[in-house]
Amino acid sequence: MKTIIPKKPLYLGGAYVEASSYKELRSPHTGEVIAEIAEGTREHMQQAIAYASEAEKVMAALPAHKRANILQTVSRLLQEKREEAARILTLEAAKPITVARGEIARTIETYQFAADEARRLHGETIPMDASAMGENRIAYTVRKPVGIVGAITPFNFPFNLVAHKLGPAIAAGNPVILKPAEQTPLSAFFIADLFAQAGLPAGALQVITGNGSEVGDELVRDDRVKLITFTGSPEVGKLIRRNAGLKRVTLELGSNSALIVDEGVEIERIIKRTVTGAFTFMGQVCISLQRIFVHRSLYTDFVDRFVAETELLRVGDPADETTDIAALITLGDVKRIGEWIEEAKREGARVLTGGIEGRIVKPTVIVDAAPHTRVCCQETFAPVVVITPFDTFDEAINEVNNSRYGLQAGVYTNKMEHAFEAADRLEVGGVMINDFPTFRVDHMPYGGLKESGVGREGVKYATEEMTELKLVCFNRNR
Ligand code: NAD
């Protein structure tokens, strides 16, 4: 029997529109073709922006309770189709099925949070008489939709990170154009269908697939688009910032997140969690645990237990219920990380467990790595972790801060003073005390310093960012 390969046109102006060329989408796990995806062009993006301009007025006129209802319905529909959605993640991203189900559960919640924000988006009254010049005036602020939102997303959380952009954009009353990552378009079309079923006006959400440097770039440069919300690599983030003109830009970028394990910590209680932080979805998580600094008194014991726990992880087919580790997203990434590991070895590092087999990089634990080698100072975005001993807490904090990135950091400590010191001194957007840096729930503010980004996500924060604050002032001095 011949397998039918699904063909996905562009989702433009509320309808599926054929493109003149299609690109094969291949499974990262098997390399087989799983779909044919429309190659959008700059002209398609121009059409999408024109449709979005029309939808802008419709969305701005949609009352809060209707926007909330649409978002709530999407959340409910996704709940009903959660297994189908999880299987898409497993197919297009090689996300192990149990991890994929976790992402869908979070996405359901993210859309619920967005529905809540649609209902409570509000301004405030301003005490004008705090200034003598403001006497007898009454003023308040309202939050108006910012306008067309351009959402550009990465491959690693194709449902939940897309929800962090579509949810707030719609909660705030904006039309949104989504340019999903080349490797993960199927999830984008799936969610667009749910929004259509939920009654979102035509043109308020469009999905334009294709090359980032073409359709993504067109979206970034057009002055009718008022805000770009981007999640992806620092390299592309910097390019977007340069090309975006005066529009608002939110950038959620990479990191080489670190954890400090302080003197006196009970190691057996944290080993499982730290292994999870390092290797979930093969380390392709922006807050994946990449660098672990362990107090010298615990170092040998920690390393031994960490390696033993790592070796329990099961490598296999991402659709298999027992699989922890499957293929990396591309063969190019397998090659890249192989070179980085070799570089670290040449500079004196030892690989205690790991190895590469075809498309799979086995969970790799490295010690004695020189800080300037790429496994330490760049974002590996692969199942590779580096463990290093430290002598003083001050030294550990400096090591964590010695990074071009600053997304999140974790500290396990029994000492209150050290917890406060870490909270104060770590140069990151989020400090997790007695947890790994990989912790995130979807309503907390989330984002980075340095090359980890600009601005914050977390549904409330992103929704506010997608509004214009408008002041209304009544003069009663007549
Ligand atoms: P990427 O930067 O390669 O691609 C992201 C998106 O940008 C894709 O949709 C791509 O098509 C598009 N793009 C590429 N060139 C463009 C251009 N010139 N103009 C406009 N758009 C363009 O990232 P990726 O490999 O898909 O994802 C991995 C990266 O994302 C990692 O660095 C990871 O840390 C980061 N990430 C960050 C967060 C966060 O919240 N901070 C979350 C997840 C992933």
Give residue-wise pLDDT tens across range 4-38: 899 999 999 999 999 999 999 999 999 999 999 99
Q: Please write the tens of the pLDDT for every residue from 302-355.
A: 999 999 999 999 999 999 999 999 999 999 999 999 999 999 999 999 999 999
Q: Single out the catalytic residue among 286, 379, 451, 457.
A: 286
Does 251 sit in the ligand 1 pocket, CB within 6 Å?
Answer: no
Q: Please write the tens of the pLDDT for every residue from 267-284.
A: 999 999 999 999 999 999
Which atom of ligand 1 sits closest to the CA of residue 164? 40
Closest Cα to atom 32 of ligand 1: 233
Substitution candidate for ligand 1 out of 42, 45, 152 with most atoms within 8 A of CB: 152
Does 281 sit in the ligand 1 pocket, CB within 6 Å?
Answer: no
Does 283 sit in the ligand 1 pocket, CB within 6 Å?
Answer: no
Above 60 in pLDDT, residue 1?
Answer: no
Sign of CA dihedral 259, 263, 264, 266: positive
DSSP 8-state symbol, 442: T
Q: Single out the catalytic residue among 39, 109, 218, 252.
A: 252
> Cβ of 474: how many Cβ atoms within 10 Å?
10
Above 90 in pLDDT, residue 184?
Answer: yes
Burial 429-446 (b: 16+ CB within 10 A, else e): bbbbeebbbbebebbeeb
What is the Å distance from ligand 1's center to 152 Cα? Answer: 7
pLDDT at position 394 is 98
Q: Is 286 a catalytic residue?
A: yes
Measured distance CA(94)–CA(353) in Å, rounded? 22
Which atom of ligand 1 sits closest to the CA of residue 255? 34
Q: Please write the tens of the pLDDT for every residue from 189-232.
A: 999 999 999 999 999 999 999 999 999 999 999 999 999 999 99
Does 393 sit in the ligand 1 pocket, CB within 6 Å?
Answer: no
Which atom of ligand 1 sits closest to the CA of residue 235? 2
Tokens of 314: 């099961």
Strand partners, 120: none
pLDDT at position 2 is 61
Does 151 sit in the ligand 1 pocket, CB within 6 Å?
Answer: no
Q: How many residues does the chain have?
A: 478
Q: Is 473 a catalytic residue?
A: no
Domains in the chain and their CATH numbers? 7-253+452-471 (3.40.605.10), 258-441 (3.40.309.10)
pLDDT at position 474 is 98
What is the Å distance from ligand 1's center to 429 Cα? Answer: 19
Tokens of 273: 């969690």
Averaged pLDDT score across all residues of the chain: 98
Closest Cα to atom 9 of ligand 1: 181
Read off the pLDDT band of 478 (50, 70, 90).
confident
pLDDT at position 299 is 98
Burial 259-273 (b: 16+ CB within 10 A, else e): bbbbbebebeebbeb
Does 37 sit in the ligand 1 pocket, CB within 6 Å?
Answer: no
Does 156 sit in the ligand 1 pocket, CB within 6 Å?
Answer: yes
Q: How far is CA 113 from CA 68, 363, 368, 414, in A?
A: 10, 34, 44, 34
The average pLDDT across 47-67 equals: 98
Measured distance CA(356)–CA(328) in Å, rounded? 11
Read off the pLDDT band of 263 (50, 70, 90).
very high
Question: E strands within 189-327?
Answer: 205-207, 225-231, 248-252, 258-261, 291-295
Q: Please write the tens of the pLDDT for every residue from 80-103.
A: 999 999 999 999 999 999 999 999
Measured distance CA(256)–CA(89) in Å, rounded? 24
User: What separation, in Å, do the N-terminal and C-terminal C-alpha atoms of the chain show?
Assistant: 83
Measured distance CA(358)–CA(327) in Å, rounded? 8
Closest Cα to atom 43 of ligand 1: 286
Does 379 sit in the ligand 1 pocket, CB within 6 Å?
Answer: yes
Pairing of strands 225-231, 148-152: parallel
Does 181 sit in the ligand 1 pocket, CB within 6 Å?
Answer: yes
